[in-house]
Amino acid sequence: MPEETIKQSLAKQGVSRRDFLKLSGLLAAAMGLQAAPVEASGLPASLIEPARGYQEQAILRALETKQRLPVIWLEFQDCTGCTEAVSRSVSPSLGNLVLNTLTIEYHETLSAAAGFQVEQAKQDAMKKYAGQYILVVEGSIPLANDGAYCVIGGRTAIDHLKEAAAGAAAIIAVGNCAAYGGIPKAKPNPTDAKGVWEVITDQPVVNIPGCPAIPEATTGVIAHFAIFGTLPELDNLNRPKTFYGKTVHDRCLRRPFYEAGKFALSFDDEGAREGYCLYKLGCKGPTTYNACASIKWDQGLSFPIQSGHPCLGCSEPNFWDGGGFYQGQSAPLDRPEAPAVVAAVGLGVAAGAGMAMANAAKKKSKGVAK
């Protein structure tokens, strides 16, 4: 492992002791430790905060003693969107702070070297840090025609993946392509593209899906492993529950309009201008698990629905084949039967009508209604 500790590395870059302490608390929140079992422990309220403080102290001790974590980042059938997203974490964001705890031993896009030199650097890193490095994979793996659709340095993607996975301490699939095959796997899938966990079946793979994945979800999982040496709790699709435990709809700022039965019917109608729910314009927020509505993008500035565009469901498997992007009531995963969809929309409309009637009755009782 690199001899320098995380604390020493940050100190060299001008991070003060005060900021270092703040970082411990920030990491606790970013990795979802504020929602750790301590909240559901049944402890008295007077003990909850001290327990939370213990978590931050544990992180502090780890940052002071843990050595920097080597990372090997592979890219296969992808658009480099997830790398672009992570590299555009705005300073001094969590993304940049966390990446300072790592040593990027190999990355085709970010490495200064190229050709045989960078490939040799990867081989050296895999030998030197065998069993200690994190393997991050971006892009799907094609299996058709013996893997001929993605060849790097004369070797197929699947060869590179299996070789690097054999010595990895943890494997993280970043983006929908690496997690579930993404756009390359869309019908008719001519390259027979697969997600990492379909190829590597004898080791745990953490999926960070999205197109691209939210940078803080990627760096948060890496930080969790760097500090604790373990992977976070995962759901049935191997996504970390901290970032994928709720649907986009659960925390959407347009949800009150859904509950009131108010929907935009086109992108230029009065409902769209008023910020109404985009469900009937194809929004897949109710069936998509991701933290878009809470973390958002560009330092919490916005996310697609806030900007007026329906959720495409890009953190779910087979999202590209899940129905028309702007087709109302379409869903990418476990598509509901028509009666269930109608009932859901009807419930929203009924709730809205009920609220309107209740408000009118209140006004009338106060002599406001004419």
Angle between the N-to-C axes of helices 215-228 and 17-30, in degrees from 0 to 180, rounded to the nearest 10: 110
The rounded radius of gyration (Å) of the Cα atoms in the chain is: 23
Amino acid at 192: D
pLDDT for res 94:
53
Residue with tokens 């559901």: 40
> How many whole angstroms separate alpha carbon 75 and alpha carbon 24?
31
Count of alpha carbons within 13 Å of 335, Cβ hemisphere only? 15
**What is the dihedral sign for C-alpha 96, 317, 289, 197?**
negative
Which tokens hold the place of 322? Answer: 């899940």
pLDDT for res 195:
97
pLDDT for res 315:
95
Amino acid at 240: P
Helix or strand (DSSP H, E) at 7: helix 6-12
**What is the dihedral sign for C-alpha 121, 122, 123, 127?**
positive
Residue-by-residue DSSP string for 107-130: ETTT-S--HHHHHHHHHHHHHHTT
Q: Cα 180–185–186 angle (5° rounding)?
A: 115
Residue spans of alpha helices (H) in 311-366 = 338-365
CA distances from 101 to 4, 140, 329 (A): 10, 27, 44
Residue-by-residue DSSP string for 275-302: T-B-GGGT--GGG-B-SHHHH-BTTTTB
Residue with tokens 């939210």: 214
> How many whole angstroms separate alpha carbon 361 and alpha carbon 317?
47
Taking the chain (370 residues) in runs of 10, the rounded mean pLDDT of each run is 63 67 56 48 52 56 68 93 79 55 79 82 91 94 96 93 94 96 95 96 94 88 82 92 93 94 94 94 93 87 93 93 76 42 35 39 44
Amino acid at 266: S
Which tokens hold the place of 334? Answer: 């476990």
Residue with tokens 């970010």: 110
Q: Are 236 and 16 in contact (CB under 8 A)?
A: no
Which tokens hold the place of 318? Answer: 């087979």
pTM of the model: 0.75
Q: Are 208 and 218 in contact (CB under 8 A)?
A: yes
Q: Cα 237–242–245 angle (5° rounding)?
A: 55
> How many whole angstroms separate alpha carbon 312 and alpha carbon 331?
9
pLDDT for res 68:
74
Q: Are 172 and 134 in contact (CB under 8 A)?
A: yes
